[in-house]
């Protein structure tokens, strides 16, 4: 991969930052361009530490700003597009999500064609495949089965449409007459240090005498460690640059998981945090079908009130389904085409994530002591 350069969008995010950290180790990489709307000071500091390894250009800009994208793409040979709005609670306006996740992707594709960027890798999500029903059981799912989300919720819907746009763009002619190569990666639920959802759940448990909500005890998922997802992006970039591998990868999507044990989301949080005294709520839980129909009623109320009042239901049918499904996928196709093997074992991934959770618990306890004194 002689003299190549890479643009990473969503560079200040949970996954984007890890992709940049691994990219910095790549040989013959001349420049990483890190694009995001906002860089938190701690993230900016962490990324800046990589400047001694590789030329790192940090760019603040909006994915919907065409001039910014034009500038960001100049002289780049690979784009890794992770920027998106994730919303599982339905609190962010639909238009904002559709704009960033779908329109932003379309604008970036157009900018890449104009700037003659030959490789475009899209970070998709397992949610473009489903689950569509909490009654459906998918174990060892794979790419040939063509699962597709039927939800109109803006996050899975926008990601599904954006992925289709990216894969359909494979083979487009670049301005200089070259050809655009694309692929998409569909990670499972991504965990690891800095995961905002885990952070929220741990903090809520600490406010509740160390009791973790048992919100998803009927689910069975195969979580994937963040650095393994980042590694899959590096391998996709290498593969699309390789004339022998590229024909098999072009226009394809890949499920990205690893060897993390299959657990319910609730049990998984417990496994990561039990050494710090946290435990799962052992009280009676509401049956899933009751939660589902309550969610349906709340959605109807929200719709009826919408002309006069913005009511956000505390949970939706989509969230109930997501949190209570058996939905597990194999990474064999990524193994075959990309040469993907998890970079970190389950034991290493668990240890790193647990240590980070330990730091959250420590911060909480110190804040309590300060309050008391």
Question: What CATH number does the domain containing 92 carry?
Answer: 3.40.50.720
From 137-146, 280-289, 292-301, the region with the lowest mean pLDDT: 280-289
Q: What is the DSSP letter of 343?
A: S
Residue 103 and residue 64 in contact, taking contact as beta carbons nearer than 8 Å: yes
pLDDT, residue 2, reads 58
- The yes-or-no verdict on residue 367 having pLDDT over 90 is no
Per DSSP, 102 falls in state I
Average pLDDT over residues 222-226: 97
Residue 99 lies inside a defined structural domain of this protein: yes
In percent, how much of the chain has pLDDT > 90? 83
Asked if residue 123 is part of any domain, the answer here is yes
**Can you give the C-alpha Rg of the chain in angstroms?**
21
User: For residue 150, what are the domain limits?
Assistant: 4-194+223-262+329-345
> What would the two tokens of residue 160 be?
């599904």
Q: How many residues does the chain have?
A: 373
Alpha helices (runs of H) in the chain, residue ranges in sequence order: 14-23, 41-48, 66-73, 94-98, 104-114, 154-168, 196-207, 226-241, 246-249, 265-273, 288-305, 317-323, 332-338, 346-372
Per annotation, catalytic residue among 155, 181, 255, 340? 155
Examine residue 311 and state whether it is found in any structural domain, yes or no.
no
- Say if residue 1's pLDDT is above 50: no
Is 302 among the domain residues?
no
The pLDDT, as a whole number, for residue 337 is 98
Structural domain includes residue 218: no
**149-190 pLDDT tens trace:** 999 999 999 999 999 999 999 999 999 999 999 999 999 999
* 155 is an active site residue: yes
Burial class (CB in 10 A: 0-12, 13-18, 19+), 190: buried
Q: Which of 171, 159, 184, 170 is nearest to 236 (CA)?
A: 184
Residues 119-140: tens digit of each pLDDT:
999 999 999 999 999 999 999 9
Which tens digits make up the pLDDT trace of 75-110? 999 999 999 999 987 889 999 999 999 999 999 999
Please report whether residue 304 resides in a domain: no
pLDDT at position 373, please? 60
Handedness of CA 289, 92, 108, 36 (dihedral sign): negative
Confirm whether 205 is domain-assigned: no
Local structure of 122: helix, strand or coil: strand
When divided into structural domains, the chain yields a total of: 1
* Tokens describing residue 15: 């996954």
């Amino acid at each position: 991969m002689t003299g190549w350069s890479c643009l990473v969008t969503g560079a200040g995010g949970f996954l984007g930052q890890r992709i940049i950290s691994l990219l910095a180790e790549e040989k013959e990489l001349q420049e990483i361009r890190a694009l995001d709307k906002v860089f938190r000071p701690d993230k900016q500091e962490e990324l800046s530490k990589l400047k001694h390894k590789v030329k790192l250009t940090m760019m603040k800009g909006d994915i919907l700003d065409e001039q910014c994208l034009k500038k960001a793409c100049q002289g780049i040979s690979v784009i890794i597009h992770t920027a998106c709005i994730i919303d599982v609670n339905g609190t962010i306006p639909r238009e904002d999500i559709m704009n960033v996740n779908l329109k932003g992707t379309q604008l970036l594709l157009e900018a890449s064609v104009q700037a003659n960027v030959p490789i475009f890798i899209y970070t998709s999500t397992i949610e473009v495949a489903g689950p569509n029903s909490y009654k459906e059981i998918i174990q060892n799912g794979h790419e040939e089965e063509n699962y597709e989300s039927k939800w109109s919720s803006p996050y899975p819907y926008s990601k599904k449409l954006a992925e289709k746009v990216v894969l359909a763009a494979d083979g487009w002619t670049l301005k200089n007459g070259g050809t655009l190569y694309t692929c998409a990666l569909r990670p499972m639920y991504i965990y690891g240090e800095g995961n905002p959802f885990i952070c929220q759940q741990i903090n809520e448990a600490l406010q509740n005498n160390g009791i973790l909500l048992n919100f998803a005890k009927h689910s069975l998922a195969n979580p994937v460690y963040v650095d393994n997802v980042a590694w899959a992006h590096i391998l996709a970039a290498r593969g699309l640059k390789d004339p022998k591998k590229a024909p098999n990868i072009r226009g394809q999507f890949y499920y990205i998981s690893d060897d993390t044990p299959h657990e319910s989301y609730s049990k998984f949080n417990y496994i990561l945090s039990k050494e710090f005294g946290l435990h799962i709520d052992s009280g009676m839980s509401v049956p899933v079908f009751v939660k589902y129909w309550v969610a349906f009623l709340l959605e109807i109320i929200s719709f009826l009130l919408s002309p006069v009042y913005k009511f956000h239901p505390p949970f939706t049918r989509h969230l109930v389904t997501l949190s209570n499904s058996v939905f597990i996928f194999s990474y064999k196709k990524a193994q075959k085409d990309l040469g993907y093997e998890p970079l970190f074992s389950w034991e290493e991934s668990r240890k790193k994530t647990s240590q980070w959770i330990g730091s959250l618990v420590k911060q909480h306890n110190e804040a309590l002591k300060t309050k008391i004194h």
